[in-house]
Structure 1
Amino acid sequence: MPDNATDMEFNADELEAPSWLNSQFIQKVLSDFEESPELVVTDLKITPASAQGDHYASVMFRTTVDYSTSKGRFSKPLIIKTMPEQEGHKKDMLAESHLFETEIGMYCQVLPEFERILLEAGDKTKLYVPCLYHSLEPRQVMIFEDLVPLGYSVIRDRPVTEEEIKRVFSKLAKWHAVSMKVIYERPDFLKEFKYGLFDMPTIQTDPFITTGMGNFIEMLDKLPELRKYKPHFEKIKDTYLQRLEVEMQEFHKYRRNDNYYVLCHGDFHLRNMMFKHNKKTGAFEDAMLVDFQISNLCPITVDLTYSIYMLMESEQRQNMGRDLINYYLTELVATLKSIGYKGSMPTQAGLWQQIHQNKYYDFFLISTFLPLILAVKSNSFKINDMIQNPEARRKTYFLDTYVKDVTKLLPKFEKLGYFKGL
């Protein structure tokens, strides 16, 4: 639910609302939600809800609805999320996915229950924004109250601060902790959440995914200081996606007694978070996670490793996010104790062993997603171009910020033994 701004470039498929998104539709939604059959929409303004680079797996609109009921006249800001209707890559990629079923389940069943469990332990943490309306037929739609008028915004034009990043790790830790308790005590409650990134129907044949390692190897070959790492990645280029799928499916197919499993967010990056600061003092007040479309049961490392590449700043990434992930672990263990978790407590040694064990996720993220997110942060590339245009995608591998990161990260991989036994 990102915020609006006059100077941002919008996604092309969000410039014009579909014909069904009109006053009659919104009037029905609000009259049902407020249980006011006499409700009448008097004015409706619809604009794009997000900037280029904020998201790809949906179409989002922001509306301001003026309406009247027997109690008076009101105005309500809403966010409307739906599936792509324009023909093209985005629609093809998402058409047969479980994204909306997953997100509806998260908003309407899982996150309310997670908050209830926390509140029972005296923790009033808010994990989500309530969903006012959802449907899968005749079209996939979700409607939320807009967070922007409440003071929340997406960080686009500056690095995230340590205080801000710690807050989102704290919320993730609490979410993960409750999920561990539920998995231990009531595993059937979460059994439907099995569709992660690599369960999307077209993901492993999409050129954006399949060309990542080749582009990465090409970059290593062209930079003399990195060429020595090329043979390691050439060894795995034809099989690493299959090895990665094994890592991602571990909970469902290859579960181990010595690993930790959670219901993960699945897309834990900066544009899927909104931050609130005091309007008068500028003091940081809260962070809210959004976009739960690929939340799924998987190794705890999925969100944590993803955060190293997709959330953290370069300087935080250089020690593989150790300080922030150790902070997360402290919050995780404290929450597990407070909610009465009866399973084995995660340890720092066990967590880092699991993170380093799942190295193929590192290989995927550094070769395919890191150039994308750094290009988005640079504001010099459009996300649609990077995903759909091979030449635009190739250029991202030679961004100074990316090359500097890779130059620092690959020696870390070597020191950790990631290249042994490939």
Structure 2
Amino acid sequence: MSDKIDKSQFNEDELEAPSWLNAQFVGGILAAYKNSSELKVTDLKITPATAQGDHYASVMFRATAEYSTSKGKFSKALIIKTMPEQEGHKKDMLADSHLFETEIGMYCQVLPEFERILTEAGDTTKLFAPCLYHSLEPRQVMIFEDLVPLGYSVVRDRPVSQNELKNVFSKLAKWHAVSMKIIKERPEFLKEYKYGLFDLPHFVTDPMVTSGIDKFIEMLDKLPDLKKYKPHFEKIKGNYLKRLQSELQEYHQNRRDDSYYVLCHGDFHLRNMMFKNNQKTGAVEDVMLVDFQISNLSPISTDLIYSIYMLMEPEQRREMGKELINYYFTVLLDTLKKIGYKDPMPTQAKLWEQLHRNKYYDFFLISTFFPLILAVKTNSFQMNELIQDPETQKKAYFLDTYVKDVEKLLPKFEKLGYFKGL
């Protein structure tokens, strides 16, 4: 590990690579990938792959392997993803989860099949980066080609542009469209993808999750302009998580004729996508979605509602993502036609009905995840403290950026009728 990095910018458990992650291990993987028994790694540099706040559900390293064969000397940039080994909250939270089984299946079976269907329809969209290696035993590991040398990067220190967001929603719409076709024609292909965010073994009982709405109500109570909304959230706080779980598990437990279902990404936020922009003009050329650990069969609203709070900028969010979601819908419809979707086509009106019906996800996100993600964006908070420390969490609820958004969003909830019949 390099001593030159600023350690404060990275997750603590990614500052030191585990002992098994060495030149011999990486050399064996590259030798198999290149089909070269003579390949030998001559130098291996390992650094953290992501910054504070980029992710939580794994440990990630960036490796540069210098290697030699009879053909000469070469270099390969890799991303190595594994489960946390340090004792603590992260390891406890993720223990006994299906994260790696899900992501391996996504990279090795599902996404290649999605791309094949798009390609047959004349669409060459790339949905994923190459996975060079994966294992579940003796440890859970995935190794990918690093996208950074190919010109991709994560947006961290600037607002994401409207054109970048359109690229994101276009790619999501194509993914969702293919999944709708498969759900109708051969649902058994996707039947194993049933583990979403709320199916993580310890997620629903984690204090960060269970106490979010209480902190939100406390914030409403202390701000005169927002206090009038307090009774609505007091009314739901006892059962809203159960209502939300029921919404998210609708495909598996209580399928409706008036709902659309897709294989959702499940964690559709800005740090789970990498953009490639033209070096001269700055124009966006591509976006690559990453981190498919909680991809699951779910209502179409799951990724879309999540994106309003976890991806969009304030100007899009204040209209509940209307322009971008309508753009997404046009691409969805166009892709369904191209790939030969045989069922009745979805309608925009029905999509919005479903988005508004699944309002408990809005309630959870605005009260629990949204303040934390905005706090991370300020670069003034440590991710582990935001997740584990109640006093740090309380500070996030009074950030100006968060309060301003809530002041705009709650009147929208009221206008849409979200508080009626609670």
- Give the TM-score category using the shorter length: over 0.9
1:65 partnered with 2:59: no
Indicate the residue corresponding to 2:402 in structure 1. Answer: 402
1:10 partnered with 2:6: no
How far, CA to CA, are the matches of 2:94 and 2:29 in structure 1?
25
**TM-score normalised according to structure 2 size:** 0.98
1:296 partnered with 2:289: no
Matches within 5 A, 1:17-416: 17-416=17-416
How far, CA to CA, are the matches of 2:149 and 2:126 in structure 1?
17
Contact 1:42 1:68 in 2 (8 A): yes
For residues 114-160 of structure 1, the C-alpha deviation after alignment (integer angstroms, 9 at most, x for no partner) is 00000000000000001000000000000001000001000000100
Contact 2:62 2:80 in 1 (8 A): yes
The aligned amino acid for 2:265 is H
Partner of 2:345, secondary structure, is coil
The aligned amino acid for 1:133 is Y
For residues 237-277 of structure 1, the C-alpha deviation after alignment (integer angstroms, 9 at most, x for no partner) is 01000000000000000100110000000000000010011
How far, CA to CA, are the matches of 1:397 and 1:61 in structure 2?
32
User: Which deviates further from its counterpart, 375-384 or 200-209?
Assistant: 375-384
Partner of 1:293, secondary structure, is coil
Indicate the residue corresponding to 1:420 in structure 2. Answer: 420
How far, CA to CA, are the matches of 2:343 and 2:405 in structure 1?
38
The structural deviation recorded for 1:22 is 0.3
The structural deviation recorded for 1:7 is 8.8
The aligned amino acid for 1:271 is R
Partner of 1:123, secondary structure, is coil
For residues 257-313 of structure 1, the C-alpha deviation after alignment (integer angstroms, 9 at most, x for no partner) is 110000000000000010011223322211110000000000000000000010001
How far, CA to CA, are the matches of 1:343 and 1:136 in structure 2?
38
How far, CA to CA, are the matches of 1:229 and 1:169 in structure 2?
32
How far, CA to CA, are the matches of 2:237 and 2:19 in structure 1?
45
Partner of 2:204, secondary structure, is helix
How far, CA to CA, are the matches of 1:270 and 1:7 in structure 2?
23
How far, CA to CA, are the matches of 1:218 and 1:281 in structure 2?
47
Identity among equivalent pairs (%) = 76
The aligned amino acid for 1:139 is R
The aligned amino acid for 1:51 is A
Partner of 1:398, secondary structure, is coil
The aligned amino acid for 1:126 is K
Contact 2:7 2:15 in 1 (8 A): no
The structure-2 alpha-carbon separation of the partners of 1:70 and 1:111, relative to structure 1 and needing over 3 Å to count, comes to: same
**TM-score normalised according to structure 1 size:** 0.98
The structural deviation recorded for 1:45 is 0.4
The structural deviation recorded for 1:72 is 1.8
How far, CA to CA, are the matches of 2:403 and 2:195 in structure 1?
33
The aligned amino acid for 1:303 is D
How far, CA to CA, are the matches of 2:46 and 2:310 in structure 1?
30
Contact 1:386 1:392 in 2 (8 A): yes
How far, CA to CA, are the matches of 1:332 and 1:283 in structure 2?
23
How far, CA to CA, are the matches of 1:410 and 1:89 in structure 2?
32
The aligned amino acid for 1:167 is N
CA RMSD of aligned residues (A): 1.1
How far, CA to CA, are the matches of 2:5 and 2:112 in structure 1?
31
Partner of 1:28, secondary structure, is helix
Partner of 1:244, secondary structure, is helix
How far, CA to CA, are the matches of 2:8 and 2:307 in structure 1?
25
Contact 1:8 1:51 in 2 (8 A): no
Contact 1:15 1:48 in 2 (8 A): yes
The aligned amino acid for 2:144 is F
For residues 369-414 of structure 1, the C-alpha deviation after alignment (integer angstroms, 9 at most, x for no partner) is 1101111111111111100111000110000010011111111111
Give the unaligned 5+ runs of structure 2: none
The structure-2 alpha-carbon separation of the partners of 1:24 and 1:7, relative to structure 1 and needing over 3 Å to count, comes to: closer
For residues 185-241 of structure 1, the C-alpha deviation after alignment (integer angstroms, 9 at most, x for no partner) is 110000000000000000111011001000000000001111111011001101000
How far, CA to CA, are the matches of 2:74 and 2:166 in structure 1?
37
How far, CA to CA, are the matches of 2:253 and 2:158 in structure 1?
41
